[in-house]
């Protein structure tokens, strides 16, 4: 089978980690007889430098015409002026919005060989295997009004946390559907004791729950959730939450897995029906890490595991996705580590070497 992938490498370490994910996909193609065709497009700071906008029409069209999008990372100090008219992040946000990728899946799995690479006690994190379902096209990121202005008393700014019941319902359904494929447990995270949008979120979630009698639903406030995530993270299975809460909680949750460099993500327009294919965007949860760029040190595993999610969710290639995940585990088991997960007695490897080792494991 031939698959067309829009490759938006982006800024900072983005190109380095995405190149390794492409290397792994190519190895996989050889092994399983698929052709992965990469079509390059600009996004983020790279697009601002070339065209003055963070996402060009051309790149958007490219993504729409492909079977999936692989994205490295966007952003960097060069484009960070708070007064700038356009920011690299705008490109990523526009892509998510234009492609209607409202469901962001962020699995957090602690691999046994990395329990000592985290700052938490091995006992606390050892059984962690959870999935955060983050709403990705609503809330504070997109709500209007959103602006800064001057008044006679000084400057003011507003962001709006806006949700319609349809937006809540569709993401919560994704949460329930995923819970059905796991341990039938769903935690909906909100701030219903303070925020009106969270009260609507809680109502809609409770209404949708009627359709999923086999799933045990509980509601948790976001502040309590952030505490529980490091106190007793193994209690969670599937967590569904709005955009900003999901952004913050997943950076926190990445520390359970040892490093931001380990966490993949899939952004989808809903759960693909069994056996069907659907456009999705796949990217590590980490940013462009400008201070690590160009040194061949960044951990490519988050992006490689994002490619595995692409195989699973956009291409319905389940055995192939598992082959990638197994290769990652095997290479780590052999003691290979990038700097971010380095531990005593292990072998330190760079970005390219990590990608090469994983690709080699696949081709055998």
Q: Which residues are part of the catalytic machinery?
A: 141, 191, 223, 247, 251
Do 153 and 185 touch, CB atoms closer than 8 A?
A: no
Q: What is the CA radius of gyration of the chain?
A: 20
Per-residue binding letters, 242-281, with ligand IPM (x by CB under 6 A)? -----x----------------------------------
Shortest distance in whole angstroms from residue 245 CB to ligand IPM: 11
Judged by phi (left if over 0) then psi (alpha if -120 to 50, else beta), residue 87 lies in beta
Shortest distance in whole angstroms from residue 287 CB to Mg ion: 7
* Contact partner, 89, from ligand IPM, Mg ion, none, Cβ < 5-8 Å per class: ligand IPM
DSSP secondary structure letters along 24-44: HHHHHHHHHT-EEEEEE--BT
Q: Of all helices (H) and strands (E), which one includes residue 166?
A: helix 165-181
Asked whether position 89 contacts ligand IPM by CB under 6 A, the answer is: yes
Q: Which is nearer to Mg ion, 198 or 254 (CB)?
A: 254
Rule CB under 6 A: choose which of 139, 287, 300, 355 binds ligand IPM. Answer: 287
Q: Which is nearer to ligand IPM, 20 or 247 (CB)?
A: 247
Q: Which is nearer to ligand IPM, 12 or 175 (CB)?
A: 12
Do 238 and 218 touch, CB atoms closer than 8 A?
A: no
Asked whether position 11 contacts ligand IPM by CB under 6 A, the answer is: no
Shortest distance in whole angstroms from residue 106 CB to ligand IPM: 8
Q: In the complex, which residue's CB is closest to ligand IPM?
A: 89
Q: Of all helices (H) and strands (E), which one includes residue 270?
A: none
- How far apart are alpha carbons 241 and 236 in whole angstroms? 13
SS3 (DSSP) at 97: helix
SS3 (DSSP) at 341: helix
Asked whether position 285 contacts ligand IPM by CB under 6 A, the answer is: yes
Distances (CA, A) of 44 to 10, 41, 166, 178, 303: 6, 10, 30, 31, 17
Q: What is the DSSP letter of 52?
A: S
Residues 52 to 71 in contact with ligand IPM, rule: CB under 6 A: none
What token pair was written down for 195? 């925020």
Q: Which is nearer to ligand IPM, 15 or 287 (CB)?
A: 287
Asked whether position 92 contacts ligand IPM by CB under 6 A, the answer is: yes
Footprint of Mg ion (CB under 5 A): 247
Of 258, 20, 319, 257, which Cα lies nearest the Cα of 132?
257
* Contact partner, 264, from ligand IPM, Mg ion, none, Cβ < 5-8 Å per class: none
Q: Which is nearer to ligand IPM, 124 or 140 (CB)?
A: 140
Asked whether position 132 contacts ligand IPM by CB under 6 A, the answer is: no
Q: Which residues would be at the binding site for ligand IPM (CB under 6 A)? A: 75, 89, 92, 247, 285, 287
């Amino acid at each position: 089978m031939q698959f067309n992938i829009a490759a938006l490498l982006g800024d900072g370490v983005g190109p380095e980690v995405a190149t390794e994910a492409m290397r792994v996909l190519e190895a996989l193609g050889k092994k399983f007889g698929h052709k992965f065709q990469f079509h390059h497009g600009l996004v983020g700071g790279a697009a601002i430098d070339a065209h003055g906008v963070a996402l060009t029409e051309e790149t958007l069209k490219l993504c729409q015409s492909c079977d999936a999008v692989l994205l490295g990372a966007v952003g960097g100090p060069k484009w960070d002026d708070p007064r700038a008219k356009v920011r690299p992040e705008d490109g990523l946000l526009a892509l998510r919005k234009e492609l209607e990728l409202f469901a962001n899946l962020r699995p957090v799995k602690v691999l046994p060989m990395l329990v000592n690479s985290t700052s938490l006690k091995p006992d606390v994190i050892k059984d962690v295997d959870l999935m955060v379902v983050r709403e990705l096209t609503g809330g504070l990121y997109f709500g209007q009004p959103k602006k800064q202005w001057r008044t006679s008393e000084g400057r003011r700014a507003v962001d709006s946390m806006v949700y319609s019941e349809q937006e809540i319902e569709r993401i919560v359904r994704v949460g329930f559907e995923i819970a059905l494929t796991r341990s039938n447990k769903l935690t909906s995270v909100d701030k219903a004791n303070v925020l009106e949008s969270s009260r609507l979120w809680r109502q809609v979630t409770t209404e949708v729950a009627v359709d999923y009698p086999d799933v045990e639903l509980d509601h948790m406030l976001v502040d309590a959730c952030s505490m529980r995530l490091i106190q007793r993270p193994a209690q969670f299975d599937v967590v569904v939450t709005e955009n900003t809460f999901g952004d913050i909680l997943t950076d926190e949750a990445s520390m359970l897995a040892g490093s931001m460099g380990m966490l993949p993500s899939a952004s989808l327009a809903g759960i693909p029906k069994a056996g069907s294919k659907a456009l999705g965007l796949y990217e590590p949860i980490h940013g462009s890490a400008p201070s690590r760029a160009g040194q061949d040190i960044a951990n490519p595993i988050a992006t490689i595991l994002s490619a595995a999610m692409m195989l699973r969710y956009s291409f319905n290639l389940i055995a192939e996705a598992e082959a990638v995940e197994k290769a990652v585990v095997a290479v780590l088991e052999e003691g290979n580590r990038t700097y971010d997960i380095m531990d005593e007695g292990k072998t330190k490897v760079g970005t390219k070497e990590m990608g090469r080792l994983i690709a080699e494991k696949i081709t055998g």
